[in-house]
A and B are shown apart, each in its own frame.
Chain A
Amino acid sequence: MKKTSEIVIIGGGVIGTSIAYYLTKRGKEVVLIEKNDLASGASGACDQDIILQSKNPGIHLQLAMKSAEIYKTLEAELEHPIEYENTGGMILIETQEELEIMKDFVKRQQQIGLEVEILDLKQARKLQPGLSHHLVGSTYSPQDAHVNSIELTLGFAKAARKQGAGIMLHTEVVGIKQRNGRIQGVKTSRGDIDCEIVINCAGAWAPKIAEMIGLTIPIKPRRGQIIVTEEVAPYVMGDVLSARYIVAKYNPDILKNSSDPGIKLGVGLSLSQTQKGNILIGATREFVGYNTDVTRTGLKEILKNATRLVPGLKGMNIIRMFAGLRPYTPDGLPIIGPVEGIEGFFVAAGHEGDGIALSPVTGKIVSDLIVDGKTFMDVSRLALERFTKNNPKA
């Protein structure tokens, strides 16, 4: 194994591999260290959505739109089939109350330049014939897309390797060496590596890495359970979310006080069909520590929710179910950038359910920051320091 490297990336998920790809593209020397295998965390246990219209208008949506632009040519660039497809997507609206919230959400997204509109039920059913008749309507954006998150991670890793990145699998980081506020290297289960820069891309495990240098990162693992059906003929068009998902995502406190088991689990629809024909039905959003079990309640509540919105799913056979740990942050935004006070320590984690959508842009930003010291947009709002009390930006 290598004893020195300019940069060490911790985490072989979609964020770590993307950064490894963009850094090596800029000629940097990189070693990526992964405790298990590539995409063995949330990147391999998620849905396939690259959905723009679920993002809060503002920096979040800006990031997603930049990422979407990169995605258009990414498959060719990586020379790896990532099953990218620009499918469009919709958010299902069940009540007048939700409609009002979504109208406002859509208007603000339009102002940032997203192509998105509100459809009535008739228009929505024309695009998505399986929808229940009780719906009020939906939003629709032609800009949403799909990607196979595992292939994407493998694609980034393969391309990074080709550009000279070292990738060490089944290797655990056990310590980080620093002297006088400067990164010196990492200690791993397979020996030490001296380096100048460490990038913490450990997703839900990022706080554990940060702890090694006495740093607190407010990321919490949030479990998402997802169900997989048998392969069926094309049935679901694009990405389908429910407005309730948006509520679950941005208002976890509202959910906490409910007695409905589905709401308590943070169940919100996320539906899409893979190229092979399997339909992915999600998802829960639960705080249960690092537990990745699937649960019977999760299964039942996800299905109850999904079949209410798309009744035709009822007869399909379920072949699998899995759970991944999304790295949740209190404000719903990822943490990206250098950490003040420890020279050479970067964080790129906390994307929660947006890691797949935001992986290209995250890779680009981090590589820009390291190589040029700046990037194409102001990302100071994404710094870890926004959570520190004395920071005026917080």
Chain B
Amino acid sequence: MKKTQVAIIGAGPAGLAAAIEVARAGGEVTLLDENHKPGGQLFKQIHKFFGSREHRAGTRGFRIGEKLLEDTEKLGVKVLLDSPVYSIFKDFVIGYISDGREKAIQAERIILATGASENALAFPGCTLPGVMGAGAAQTMINVHRVLPGKKIIMVGSGNVGLIVSYQLLQAGADVIALIEAAAEIGGYGVHASKIRRAGVPIYTSYTIQEVIGKNSVEGAVIVGLDEKWKPIKGTEKLIEADTVCIAVGLSPLAELAWLAGCEFAFVPSLGGHVPKHDRNMETTIKGLYAAGDLTGIEEASSAMEEGRLAGIACAESLGLYSKEEARDLKEKVWARLNTLRTGPFGKKRRDAKDKLIEMMEGGADIG
């Protein structure tokens, strides 16, 4: 059986950043990803990232992706693409599929960076072609350069809903309504004002009641909500549209962490069930690390920082860094992570993460 020192599963921002850190420390890394290309969801992010200068703020997501790939290549990270990992067996034997065949590789350490997937929303007509994830639409326009439709309704006004709405406009579509069940826009003001300036009608305290259409989306009925989130009779509006994009959050893709036997915590503010981990991003299984959206839904910048943490800690555990060297490096990453986790959105995640880490030290379960 093939062997590797460190196997990293998932070549998105967290996995790539982790790979770079381990390789920089002199570790031998194999990075596995199920897709044809590395980068995860970075290459569909054509907007400028936030954060400080260290986070390469102001740089567009796909440019950051290009830089990460350049670094992984320079450092000699072995990347296995088109290689979906189907399980992690005893003794860190990783089973994966490649060229239609089952293969395995055994690792001394594993870093899981499997990311997240978009949540669906249930309403009559939600299965019609033309109803899709906002991230899916983003992939289509920015990576594959194909428009999913011309007249688009966006459901959800978090950052994903706002950013994708704007990018749909950039790609030439018409966003005819942005629907938000809450009374206020969910995402950052700066994204929201771009949408407003572009003249997209915003319906707060509205939800989608039904999508209509025979073989694909032809329109949607939206309805106003009272303060108890109950539909208000008489406020229904029929909007003609060919596409409904759903931006109602993401859930960690945690299957491999479950299969590996990690202990989990249910943390709604992090997206649901997430593997417990410590400040080194090490899970309840010794030698198995997790980073990025898998450990709680945030954004690419924090995913990269978590990847770096996992990479440094992993290198330390292999003796590639001294305790002091690792401590200095990790402290820098933590400082940057803490800056990212500020503001009303960041604070909530920081608190949740702190609790999650506390639980590894025997704290109480979070509901």
Touching in the complex, A and B, CB below 8 A?
yes
Q: Cβ of A189 < 8 Å from any Cβ of B?
A: no
Cα of A135 to Cα of B93 in the assembled complex, Å: 35
Q: Cβ of A162 < 8 Å from any Cβ of B?
A: no
Q: Cβ of A389 < 8 Å from any Cβ of B?
A: no
Is the beta-carbon distance between B102 and A295 smaller than 8 angstroms?
Answer: no
Residues of B within 8 A of A299 (CB): 95, 102
User: What is the interface of chain B, defined by CB distance below 8 A to chain A?
Assistant: 86-87, 89-90, 93, 95, 102, 104
Instruction: State the majority secondary structure of interface residues on B.
Output: strand
Residues of B within 8 A of A300 (CB): 102
Cα of A299 to Cα of B102 in the assembled complex, Å: 10
Q: Cβ of A3 < 8 Å from any Cβ of B?
A: no
Closest chain A residue to B102, Cβ basis: A300
Residues of A within 8 A of B89 (CB): 293, 295-296
Is the beta-carbon distance between A293 and B102 smaller than 8 angstroms?
Answer: no
Cα of A299 to Cα of B86 in the assembled complex, Å: 12
Closest chain A residue to B259, Cβ basis: A294
A63-81 CB contact bits vs B (8 Å, 1 = yes)?
Answer: 0000000000000000000
Closest chain B residue to A303, Cβ basis: B102
Smallest CB separation, A127 vs chain B (Å): 30
State which of A293, A294, A296, A318 has its C-beta within 8 Å of the C-beta of B104: A296
Residues of B within 8 A of A295 (CB): 89-90
Can you name 14 A-B pairs with beta carbons within 8 Å?
A293-B89, A293-B90, A294-B87, A295-B89, A295-B90, A296-B87, A296-B89, A296-B93, A296-B95, A296-B104, A299-B95, A299-B102, A300-B102, A318-B86
CB proximity to B under 8 Å, residues A143-174: none
Residues of A within 8 A of B95 (CB): 296, 299
Cα of A300 to Cα of B1 in the assembled complex, Å: 14
Residues of A within 8 A of B104 (CB): 296
The number of A-B residue pairs with CB atoms under 8 Å apart is 14
Closest chain A residue to B90, Cβ basis: A293
Cα of A296 to Cα of B106 in the assembled complex, Å: 12
Smallest CB separation, A391 vs chain B (Å): 42
Smallest CB separation, A385 vs chain B (Å): 40
Cα of A296 to Cα of B87 in the assembled complex, Å: 9
Closest chain A residue to B94, Cβ basis: A296
CB proximity to B under 8 Å, residues A270-327: 293-296, 299-300, 318
Given contacts A293-B89, A299-B102, 6 further A-B contacts (CB under 8 A): A293-B90, A296-B93, A296-B95, A299-B95, A300-B102, A318-B86
Residues of A within 8 A of B86 (CB): 318
Closest chain B residue to A315, Cβ basis: B100
Closest chain A residue to B100, Cβ basis: A315
Closest chain B residue to A318, Cβ basis: B86
Cα of A367 to Cα of B86 in the assembled complex, Å: 46
Smallest CB separation, B356 vs chain A (Å): 26
Cα of A293 to Cα of B104 in the assembled complex, Å: 17
Smallest CB separation, A392 vs chain B (Å): 46
Cα of A293 to Cα of B95 in the assembled complex, Å: 14
Cα of A318 to Cα of B87 in the assembled complex, Å: 12
Cα of A294 to Cα of B87 in the assembled complex, Å: 10
Indicate the member of A293, A296, A299, A300 with the most B CB atoms within 10 Å. Answer: A296
Cα of A318 to Cα of B86 in the assembled complex, Å: 10
Closest chain A residue to B93, Cβ basis: A296
Smallest CB separation, B92 vs chain A (Å): 12
Closest 5 CB pairs of A and B: A296-B89, A296-B95, A296-B93, A296-B104, A295-B89
Smallest CB separation, A40 vs chain B (Å): 17
Residues of B within 8 A of A293 (CB): 89-90
Smallest CB separation, A381 vs chain B (Å): 41
Smallest CB separation, A353 vs chain B (Å): 24
Residues of A within 8 A of B87 (CB): 294, 296
Cα of A295 to Cα of B104 in the assembled complex, Å: 12
Residues of B within 8 A of A294 (CB): 87
Residues of B within 8 A of A296 (CB): 87, 89, 93, 95, 104
Smallest CB separation, B98 vs chain A (Å): 15
Cα of A296 to Cα of B93 in the assembled complex, Å: 9
Smallest CB separation, B219 vs chain A (Å): 32
Cα of A300 to Cα of B89 in the assembled complex, Å: 13
Cα of A294 to Cα of B90 in the assembled complex, Å: 10
Smallest CB separation, A331 vs chain B (Å): 33
Cα of A300 to Cα of B95 in the assembled complex, Å: 11
